[in-house]
Structure 1
Amino acid sequence: MADLYNSNAPKKAANLSVNSDLLKKTRALNINLSATLERALKEELAKREAARWIDENRSAIRSYNEFVEQHGCFGDEFREF
């Protein structure tokens, strides 16, 4: 599977607006904002890429599922469970 993004790309500054109380409480706990944001963005990117892949392949998935319903899975006759 291809990487979601280039993890070796250089860092780039970004201006963000964050709830002030949330920011205060995370700073009080020494939470690394950059690392936390990168992790959250990576998770969101993966979720959206997966949803996009499913959408793009919906027809093929539907066809495969219909085939399996009608003919069963390859090797079913050899299954012992």
Structure 2
Amino acid sequence: MSTTRRATSMTLDAALLDEARALGLNISRAAEEGIRAQVRAERSRRWKEDNAADIAAYNKWIEENGVPLARFRKF
């Protein structure tokens, strides 16, 4: 996957940065992976928050009516 990259400046914990360098880690890639994970987690949290009412309504419907097509389930 080809992506456009942009330089940025960050302030990091000195000891952590020193250890990462000593271990031969690619600091930019590690930071990018960490940011990607945080973005994914925040998107998920916001989706759940934005859709909480609909999810609750669906769960209530299931409680009252059962699982759709349950009679066809093999388990």
Which structure has more relative contact order (CA 8 Å, sep 6+)? It is 1
Count of residue correspondences? 75
Task: Provide the rounded CA distance (Å) in 2 between the counterparts of 1:10 and 1:19.
Answer: 27
2:32 counterpart of 1:28:
no
Task: Provide the rounded CA distance (Å) in 1 between the counterparts of 2:12 and 2:19.
Answer: 12
Segments ≥4 residues shifted beyond 6 Å: none
Letter aligned with residue 51 of structure 2: N
The normalised TM-score by structure 1 is: 0.85
The normalised TM-score by structure 2 is: 0.91
2:38 counterpart of 1:47:
no
Task: Provide the rounded CA distance (Å) in 2 between the counterparts of 1:80 and 1:12.
Answer: 52
TM-aligned CA deviation for residue 8 of structure 1:
4.0
Report the secondary structure of 2:67's partner residue. Answer: coil
Letter aligned with residue 33 of structure 2: R
| Cα deviation code 1:28-57 (max 9, x no counterpart) | 111001111111111100100001001111
Greater helix share, 1 or 2? Answer: 2
Structure 1 residue runs of 5 or longer lacking an equivalent are 1-6
Alignment of 1:1-81 (within 5 A): 8-81=2-75
Report the secondary structure of 2:54's partner residue. Answer: helix
